[in-house]
Amino acid sequence: MTSGTRAPALAFDGPLDALTPEIRRRIVDRRPTDESKLQEAVRKLIAEVRRDGDDALIRMARDFDGVELESLEVPRSRWTEALDAMSPPVRSELERAVRNLDAFHRAQIPADVELETEPGVRLGRRSTPLPAVGVYAPGGRAAYPSSVLMGVVPAAAAGVPEIVVCSPPGPSGEPPLEVLAACALAGATRLFVLGGAGAVAALAYGTPTVPRVEAIVGPGNQWVTEAKRQVAGELRIDSPAGPSEVLVVAGPEADPARVAMELIAQAEHDPEAAVAAVTWSAPLLEGIRTELASQVAGTPRREVVETALADRGALLLARDRAQALAFSQEYAAEHLALFTDDPRDDLEGQTTAGTVFLGEASSVAFGDYLTGANHVLPTATRSRSFSGLSVLEFLRFFTWQELSEEGASAMAEGTGLLADAEGLPGHAAAARARLRPGGEASTEAEGSSP
C-alpha cells in the first residue's frame, strides 16, 4: 500500500468463522431494510397511475425527475436521429452485442414436444410469443443502452410483436441519446419517457397513452423492483433485480489486482451494490486488500465505490476451498466469479448464482455488455429461486391432447373409476361414453354409477 493511500472501509474484513450473526445477515441478507415503508409508498404511486393515468405520470416526472414533459412518448424519428449521431465505434459494438444476444437467446427457444403416452393417446406442447411486453431501462443520471438490448433483443427473438420500452427522462426531458439509439438497434416498437414505479404501473394497467402489456422485464432501483412485485398478480414479471452484486471466489493463485477490479467494477454501479471476495489464502487476501486501497483511490467514481464497500463490502478468509464454495452457495450472488485453478469443477456444486464466470479471463464486465448472455439477473439472494432473464420470459406454453377412438376406449373405464372415486359423475359419464362395444366395464363401477 503506497504512502497516503488508506484502505477503504468494509462491512467486514476477516475470517468467515468470525462473522457474527448480525454481520452475516448484513452481508448475506441483502433485502431493503425499510421494506414496509417502501411497499406503502409504491402502493400509493400505483394507485395514482390507475386513477389519474397520464396526468399522474406527468406529475411524477415533475416531482421525481424535475422535468416538465410535453409528451410521454418519444417518436421513432428521434431514435433514428440518435442512431445516426452515435459514434461509429460505439454503434459497431452495440451491433455486436445485438448479434450475440440474438444468437444466444434464439438458441434457448424450446422445440415443440409431441409424444404418444399410450397407443392412441398423443400429447404435445407448443409455445407462442406474448402479444406485448414492457422493458424497463434504468436511466436518469446515467445512460444504460445495454439494459435496453438485454430486454428488447430476447423479446424480439421470441417473436413478440409489441415491445414497449420505458426509461426515465434525463435533463433534456428525454432518455439519453444512447438509449434512443439502442431502441432502434434492438427492435423496440415504442419508447416512453417514464421511470420508477409510475412506469411499471402504466405498463401493467395501461393509460390513455401507454399500452397495457403482458409482461414487464428489466432492472431498476428498489422502487421499480417493488412495483414489479406488486403488479405480479396482474401480469408476468422477470426476477426481482436490484442493486448490482458480485462474489469472487479466489484461489491462492489468483491475481489480486484482477479480483479488486471485479469488486470495484460492480461497486461503481450503485452505492447500494454488494461486493465480496472469499479465499482460503491469507497472502492473497492481503494482496486484494492492498490492491483495493490503491485502485479505489484512483477511480473516478470513488465516492460511490467507497459507500458500497462500507455498507455491503466484504473480504473473507475461509478455512479451505470447501468452506469458500459453501459460502458462495449461501451468498447466492447475482454474479459469481470463480477465479480458481479448476473453475469448471467448482461450477458443478453451484446452484444459487444468477450467472457464473469461469476463470480470471472471464470478467463480469464482458457479460454486462458483449458475450450474449443476459445481464438482467436476480439479486438479494433471490437467485435461490429465480432465474435470470431469458427468452422464456417472452413465451407462453400450451399443451394439446388427441385421443383416437381406440385410445379413448382404452382409457374410458379407468377414467370413470377415478371420477367415481372423486364423486364426479359427469366426468365418469363423459369418459364411459367413449367405451367401444365389446369393451369390458367394471361391475363394481357399474353398480356405483348413478
* Res 220: pLDDT: 84
Look at residue 319 in the predicted model and tell me its pLDDT: 97
Segment 30-55, tens digit of pLDDT? 876 667 888 999 999 999 999 999 99
Same domain? 233 vs 252: no
> In this predicted model, what pLDDT tens digit does every residue of 111-157 receive, in sequence order?
999 999 999 999 999 999 999 999 999 886 667 899 999 999 999 99
230 with 87, same domain: the answer is yes
384 in any annotated domain: no
Catalytic annotation, pick one of 174, 226, 334, 393 = 334
Residue 304 resides in a domain: yes
Range of the domain at 56: 35-241+391-397
pLDDT lower than 70: segments of the chain: 1-5, 32-34, 140-142, 439-450
Look-up of cell digits 400505483? 46
Please pick, among 262, 335, 375, 413, the residue that the annotation labels catalytic: 335
pLDDT number for residue 3:
46
Single out the residue of 399, 395, 24, 450 nearest to residue 215, CA to CA.
Answer: 395
Q: Is residue 330 annotated as a catalytic residue, yes or no?
A: no
Same domain for 107 and 159: yes
pTM given for the model? 0.89
Grid-cell match 471476495, residue found: 277
Cβ burial of 291 (10 Å; 0-12, 13-18, 19+) is buried
Three-state secondary structure call for residue 134: strand
Residue 265 neighbours by CB under 8 Å, 6+ apart: 246, 363, 364, 365
Residue with cell 414479471: 237
Domain check: are 107 and 162 in the same one? Answer: yes
State how far the Cα of 192 lies from the Cα of 265, in Å rounded to an integer. Answer: 30
Query: Do both 141 and 286 map to the same domain?
Result: no
Tell me what pLDDT residue 444 has: 42
Euclidean distance between CA atoms 359 and 366, whole angstroms: 13
pLDDT for the residue 353: 94
Active site residue 334: yes
- Is 211 domain-assigned? yes
